Amino acid sequence: MMVQHRSGIPNLTDNPGFWETPPKSSEEALEFALDLPANFEPDEDYGYSNTNYLLLSELIDKEVGYSHHQYIKEKILIPLGLSNTFGSLSEVDIADVMSGYYVGYDDDLKTEENGMLATAEDVGIFLRALNEGSVFDEGEQEIYSSIYVYDHTGLVPGYQSIAKYHKDIDTVVIQFMNTTNFDGYNWNLSEVFYSRIVKILRGKKAQNNV
């Protein structure tokens, strides 16, 4: 239910205090969702919640007995050769990080900690591996496929992305944008651009098949 965002657990990033005083640890982050009433009964509705991801990472830590970042590195990053994917901002040279901006806010947001970082190429390799099944051990793909889709969209202040595999043209298309805003204009614009890019690629694929 947490993977599918059907848990009803409140989204910690919906709490205004999360952005006013960004948490410095998972424990602090969780405080923004603790003791709040559920948004709905478990498995009765859908509601995107970053708290689900935080709790899932905590569960991985407890289950394997060490950091989920190390577990992800061992199970996914190293086998797939994803040398440009990192667990946090502390692992990279800040000069290599793309600047990020929020409309109406002058400061560059690239120094803000927002979790994992990766290049578009690494995201593309990972997404293709999910679809081809090469990232899974025996029996895992069936489990994953039953609860989640092989794409993702999302944003944090200063950054937004769309990552999808298009089976009809056997192509992964990744879009990173480094400007966000409150009213959703930039997000709507990114979806328009993304759909046009996919349309162009479909046209080229059709031409090559003629």
- Our count of domains for the chain comes to 2
CA dist 119 → 58, 97, 108, 144, 176 (Å): 25, 10, 19, 24, 9
Any domain includes 75: no
Q: What pLDDT score does 207 carry? A: 87
In the listed set 16, 32, 65, which residue is the last one of a domain according to the structure? 65
**Which of 142, 210, 128 lies closest to 170, judged by CA?**
128
Q: What pLDDT score does 38 carry? A: 94
Any domain includes 4: yes
Any domain includes 74: no
Give SS3 for 172: strand
Q: Which residues of the chain have pLDDT under 50?
A: none
Rounded-to-integer distance, Cα 59 and Cα 1, Å: 14
Q: What pLDDT score does 171 carry? A: 95
Does 203 lie in the same domain as 112? yes
Tokens of 33: 């969702």
Q: What pLDDT score does 9 carry? A: 96
Does 94 lie in the same domain as 60? no
Q: Which domain holds residue 102?
A: 84-209
Q: What pLDDT score does 101 carry? A: 96
In the listed set 65, 95, 118, which residue is the last one of a domain according to the structure? 65
Does 51 lie in the same domain as 152? no
Does 137 lie in the same domain as 106? yes
Does 97 lie in the same domain as 150? yes
Rounded-to-integer distance, Cα 8 and Cα 43, Å: 7
In the listed set 16, 34, 65, which residue is the last one of a domain according to the structure? 65
